[in-house]
Chain A
């Protein structure tokens, strides 16, 4: 059995809701970026750079990054707790899953920090 200690919202209902709110944010952001690129094609550096120099675009991007982190954490938690458990892997299941969670957590934090660096550090 899997207990709810490593999931983001600490309860399935919160996870479910966060998963949907972040999905909506990511969808809007995807449309925004794809729409911008398509309507400014062929894209040149000045237009692109000008877009991301705007404060609200950076905030929107940051929101997308944070949403991504939460969404991916919840999503991957669900996947891991389905396939990597004591039921599927024997007694080491929980240890392996926790290890994978740590790895994914590190990657997720790295993505987020990297994204912030791109947006603000340049």
Chain B
């Protein structure tokens, strides 16, 4: 391996415009979601195992702590999904100018916040 290859980014010197914030939070939500999958699978299992476990799950879902954990998971999913769609729209070549990137990021944040609030309404 050639060790003299250039290092292209020094991550520690970079400042954060809105597009970068959207990017890093997309990453954070992806990592969070990975943990959240355990919660979702657990709910799927409880909901399908039997009639009894289904109603047990319903009781658990009345607990504020459980609701909070589920909301965080759904929020991560909503956020990641919206930002992922934004990402892929840009992959297709739309909104790639500096201004377009900012607008898209703002629009996506608005969509994500709406979905996250709705997810909260849904859970509670």
Contacts and interface: CB of A to CB of B under 8 A. Distances in A.
Interface stretch (B14-22, B30-38, B64-72, B103-111): B30-38
Residue picked from A1, A3, A45, most chain B C-beta under 10 Å: A45
B81 interface: yes
A45 B54 contact: yes
A114 B27 CA distance: 25
Contacts of A27: 81, 84-85
Contacts of B77: 30
Residue picked from B5, B7, B37, B91, most chain A C-beta under 10 Å: B37
State which size class the interface on B falls in.
20 to 34
18 contacts: A1-B3, A3-B1, A20-B88, A23-B84, A23-B88, A27-B81, A45-B47, A45-B55, A48-B47, A48-B48, A52-B48, A68-B37, A72-B37, A82-B11, A87-B7, A115-B44, A118-B41, A118-B45
Given A111-B37, A114-B45, 19 more contacts: A1-B5, A20-B91, A23-B84, A27-B84, A27-B85, A45-B54, A45-B55, A48-B47, A48-B54, A68-B37, A75-B34, A76-B31, A76-B34, A79-B27, A79-B30, A115-B41, A115-B44, A118-B41, A118-B44
